């Protein structure tokens, strides 16, 4: 095996290890910038998403991304295969989560986007987020213990609303109904790195 050619300091932190897939949580040690304290789901179990459907917003089906992101405590979420996830309504992510799409082609597309509202310590890595549209709202579960009524979502690709310690890395995003990434309402300690963003006028709003 030849010398590792990764020059990006974040990539060099984990990609040069040929066995990185056996130590996925090493990624949490690689964050830089304002969100440098973000650890996401480090220390928690691995949750493998195997089902790309999104049919029940109040009682999400085990194996789906929506079921994964509402679980209690730290969780490192990976994907068992490539998939396109067409969300029925916005995806409400709880604290201490990593969404790690390395090793699969995972697209959140053709539906509403991802929302981090008043949560802390979230990593999103390697997702393709595109062709996001507003959601009509309705009853949506945001944790194991709570669901509530959500009004219409704006069509942001990733929305940070009062969120802290967030790292968004190696995402590919395009053509969202509103902002590509919204970081508003006092969202702090946020790092956005190595992003590929195209086909949009309002890329980052804060």
pLDDT in the model for residue 4? 84
Would you say residue 202 lies in a domain?
no
> What's the whole-number mean pLDDT along residues 118-137?
97
Query: Do 205 and 184 contact (CB within 8 A), yes or no?
Result: yes
Give me the pLDDT at residue 6, please.
83
Domain hosting 52: range is 32-196
In 3-state terms, what secondary structure has residue 13? helix
CATH value at residue 168: 2.160.20.10
Q: Would you say residue 10 lies in a domain?
A: no
Residue at 20 is within a domain: no
203/155: higher pLDDT? 155
Q: What is the Cα Rg of the chain in Å?
A: 16
* Average pLDDT for 75-92: 98
Asked, for residue 13, whether it belongs to a domain, the answer is no
Domain membership flag for residue 16 = no
Please name the residue that has the structure tokens 């310690």.
Answer: 165
The answer to whether 55 touches 61, Cβ cutoff 8 Å, is yes
The 10s digit of each residue's pLDDT in 47-64 is 999 999 999 999 999 999
- 21 φ, ψ to 5°? -65, -20
Residue 194: phi, psi to the nearest 5?
55, 40
Share of the chain above pLDDT 70, in %: 96
CA 65 to chain centre: 10
To the nearest 10°, report the CA torsion of 130, 78, 90, 70: -170
Residue 93 included in any domain: yes
Residue 203 lies in a domain: no
Residue 4 lies in a domain: no
Mean pLDDT of the chain: 94
Higher pLDDT, 4 or 48: 48
The domain total for the chain is: 1
Under 8 Å CB-to-CB from 115, ≥6 apart: which residues? 90, 91, 92, 93, 153, 156, 158, 159, 161
pLDDT tens, residue by residue, 157-201: 999 999 999 999 999 999 999 989 999 999 999 999 999 998 766
Residues 18-41 pLDDT 10s: 999 999 999 999 999 999 999 999
Residue-level pLDDT at 5: 83
Residue 7 binned pLDDT confidence (cut-offs 50, 70, 90): confident
CA–CA gap between residue 54 and residue 137 (Å, rounded): 14
pLDDT mean over 138-165? 96
Query: With 90 as the cut, is the pLDDT of residue 128 above it?
Result: yes
pTM of the predicted model as reported, rounded to 2 decimal places:
0.95
Mean pLDDT of 83-91: 98
Q: Residue with structure tokens 């789901």?
A: 41
DSSP tally for the chain: helices H, then strands E: 2, 18
Q: Helix, strand or coil for residue 42? A: coil
Contact yes or no for 93/119 (Cβ under 8 A): yes
Q: Residue length, the chain?
A: 206
């Amino acid at each position: 095996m030849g010398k590792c050619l990764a020059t990006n300091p974040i990539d060099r932190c984990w990609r040069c290890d040929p066995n990185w897939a056996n130590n996925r949580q090493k990624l949490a040690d690689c964050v830089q910038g304002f969100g440098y304290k973000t650890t996401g789901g480090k220390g928690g179990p691995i949750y493998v998403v195997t089902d790309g459907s999104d049919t029940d917003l109040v009682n999400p089906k085990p194996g789906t991304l929506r079921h994964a992101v509402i679980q209690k405590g730290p969780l490192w979420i990976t994907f068992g295969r490539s998939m396109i996830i067409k969300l029925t309504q916005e995806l409400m992510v709880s604290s201490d989560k990593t969404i790690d799409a390395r090793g699969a082609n995972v697209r959140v597309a053709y539906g509403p986007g991802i929302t981090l509202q008043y949560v802390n310590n979230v990593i999103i890595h390697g997702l393709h987020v595109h062709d996001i549209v507003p959601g009509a709202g309705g009853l949506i579960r945001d944790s194991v213990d709570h669901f509530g009524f959500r009004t219409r979502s704006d069509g942001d690709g990733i929305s940070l609303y009062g969120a802290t310690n967030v790292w968004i890395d190696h995402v590919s995003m395009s053509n969202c109904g509103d902002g590509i990434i919204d970081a508003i309402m006092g969202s702090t300690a946020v790092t956005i790195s190595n992003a590929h963003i195209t086909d949009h006028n309002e890329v980052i709003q804060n």
